[in-house]
Structure 1
Amino acid sequence: MTEFSPLAKPSVTRTVLQRHGLATKKALGQNFLVSDAIIGKICELSEVCGQDDVLEVGPGIGTLTVALLPRANRVLSVERDRDLPAVLAETCGAFDNFTLLQKDALDLREEDFACVPGDPFAPNKFVANLPYAVAATLVLDYFQKIESIQSATVMVQSEVADRMSAKPATKEYGAYTVKLQLIAKPTGRFQVSPNNFFPPPHVTSSVIRLDRRDDLGVTPDEAAAASMMADAAFTQRRKTVANSMKQYFSRPQSPIDATDVPKMMQSAGIDARRRGETLGLEEFIELGRCLLRMCK
């Protein structure tokens, strides 16, 4: 039977932490994955291969990292915990395609990729067991600002995965869903129970894969405008989309006047009495295009 990660055992994880005088840190949301079967399913879902440059966030002691390194071209792991570089030097140091960047992943910029040896590093896959507090933010942010990323296979809280993959007219569907699905679409998912972690978290987790999409025919400006319309439509979720948008565009420095909302809705062919959660992706795109025309 193939072993994906020798670190994916509770006893090994405890031993590694104890050897470095460490314990899990609740403030950083540390729950170490200790199931080799789950590591294998992540590798399978992500389809990492020898041509891939992989970006990982929150490697911990390297449990997932050591499974990715033999399969990938290069792996850049971003870790904010100052106590873990010494651990990762031990667990991943034998791989010459491994680079560790000690930094808060929320502050990651493309210029940081210069730390990776060899050809310019442009990660095409984002694979990570993410810190849950920042997971939703990171996935959307990285798809928006790191254009080389073609897929993200990430462990998140199940409720976050529900938002990422939500359909219109469901309670999980919101502005975040629209903004993410303008860029990427879910293509695979599986559940992960708490007993696969040390210590077990108080939530159920999911691994979800999202692939960058090119089927919508939108320009970057149109995508940005559609994202703004999503924010506007969900400003007050319980109100009609027109009333919610009127409040949004009543703010100082708004690109249009709130009184222009009915005209924009009519131009887009959308009933102003509907609620934001009933609007599909194409309707938000059309609203974004109407917004751009009005701004001109």
Structure 2
Amino acid sequence: MHKDIATPVRTKEILKKYGFSFKKSLGQNFLIDPNILRNIVGYADLTKESAAIEIGPGIGALTEHLARAAGKVVSFEIDQRLLPVLEDTLSPYSNVKIVHSDVLKADVVNIIKEELAHYKDIMVVANLPYYVTTPILLKLITENLPIRGMVVMMQKEVADRISATPGTKAYGSLSIAVQYYMNAEVVMTVPKTVFMPQPNVDSAVLRLTRREELPVRVIDESFLFEVVRSSFAQRRKTILNNLQSQLPNGKEKKEYILSALAEVNIEPTRRGETLSIVEFGQLADALYPYFKK
């Protein structure tokens, strides 16, 4: 068994050996607690029949634990300076493939075809860079990847927003964009003290599992999300006011919006944060003929 990468001593040794300095712009915070890494990997339920996709391996702290648990790991690293470090730290593991690429620009579907064709069970497991957590998640969720789900660490506040339920302050368009496709739950919180350098905020691990069935079937998914975003444009405003001010020609179409709301039994005085995903789906379909036909 090799010495864990994720201890303060070993992390410092590696950084010193390579003269590595953290780039704030890349949101680099490396984990230095092996127990937390073991727990994260545990939540992904991996076997040697599974594959893992990682984003931002850093110096390989989580990658190493994934390599021990899964059949194969494909890891996306944007920072060229880390490639020689990873080649060194992960040299004991022959089942890791590092892809030097920005995952937001990468053709992930194609990379899965090339690298993970034999795997039926694929999980995304990552300590996501804070500054691009949301775009990465939304890309991975909406590209319809053949994955079972994700176990991802992020800022606690973002994890709370994604997993929020209707009627709470954290619930918003991000909650709905993710929960439309995935079941979301925060499985652990992670104090800032277990990172190097320490971030300013606490983190949380979010487990996302692909839904067997979408919560609601709609005519046009992109229109559904347009209605959702419009409804949360100004949180204090009623759903009627938000839709009027945000949808194209909404002011002139007030009567149509009112009749769509009436059709699906949603009071025009309600606020967006009180509507469930199913209600948003019904509302989008009722508005569709007036705004999209």
Tell me the TM-score normalised to structure 2 length: 0.91
Aligned to 1:270: 266
Return the letter of the residue paired with 1:57.
I
Matched, 1:14 2:6: no
User: Take 1:38 and 1:32, find their aligned partners in 2: how far apart are those partners?
Assistant: 12
> In the alignment, residue 71 of structure 2 is paired with which amino acid?
N
SS of 1:83's equivalent in the other structure is helix
Q: Does 1:261 align with 2:257?
A: yes
**RMSD in angstroms over aligned alpha carbons?**
2.4
Contact 1:143 1:149 (8 Å CA) reproduced: no
User: Residue 5 of structure 1 contacts residue 66 of structure 1 at CA under 8 Å; is this kept in 2?
Assistant: no
Distance 1:140 1:73 in 2: 26
* Residue-by-residue CA offset, 1:92-121 (whole Å, 9 max, x unaligned): 233232111111122122355069546377
**Deviations 1:125-169, CA, capped at 9 Å, x for gaps:** 110001011112211221111331221100100000110111112
Equivalent runs, 1:151-170 vs 2, <5 Å: 151-170=149-168
In the alignment of these two chains, the number of paired residues is 291
2:170 aligns with one of 169, 172, 184: 172
Amino acid at match of 2:271: R
Between the aligned partners of 1:260 and 1:80, the Cα distance in structure 2 is 48
Paired residue secondary structure (2:281): helix
**SS of the counterpart of 2:104?**
helix
Q: 1:23 to 1:123 in 2, by over 3 A?
A: farther
- Alignment CA distance shift 1:77-1:63 (3 Å): same
Q: Distance in 1 between matches of 2:240 and 2:168?
A: 19
Alpha-carbon deviations, 1:180-208, whole Å to 9, x = none? 11011124511100111111111001011
What is the SS of the residue equivalent to 2:158?
Answer: helix
Q: Distance in 2 between matches of 1:167 and 1:36?
A: 32
1:77 paired residue among 62, 75, 78 = 75
Residue 276 of structure 2 is matched in structure 1 by 280
- Distance in 2, matches of 1:67 and 1:118, equals 18
Aligned counterparts of 1:293 and 1:207: Cα–Cα separation in 2: 40
1:208 and 2:206 matched: yes
Cα distance 1:4–1:94, how it changes in 2: closer, same or farther (>3 A)? closer
Q: Distance in 2 between matches of 1:161 and 1:278?
A: 19
Q: Which amino acid aligns with 2:262?
A: Q
The one-letter amino acid paired with 1:287 is: L
CA deviations 1:232-267 (Å, max 9, x no partner) are: 21122211101101111136xx9x956521122122
Cα contact 2:256–2:287 (8 A) shared by 1: no
Deviates more, 1:11-20 or 1:184-193: 184-193
**Offset at residue 213 of structure 1 (A):** 0.9
2:95 is aligned to 97
Deviation per CA, 1:1-44: give whole Å up to 9, x if none.
xx897001011011111111212222211111000110011011
Q: TM-score, normalised by structure 1?
A: 0.90
Give the match's secondary structure for 1:277.
helix
Within 5 Å, give how 1:1-296 maps onto structure 2. 6-110=4-108, 112-113=110-111, 116-117=114-115, 119=117, 124-216=122-214, 218-219=216-217, 221-250=219-248, 257=253, 260-294=256-290, 295-296=292-293
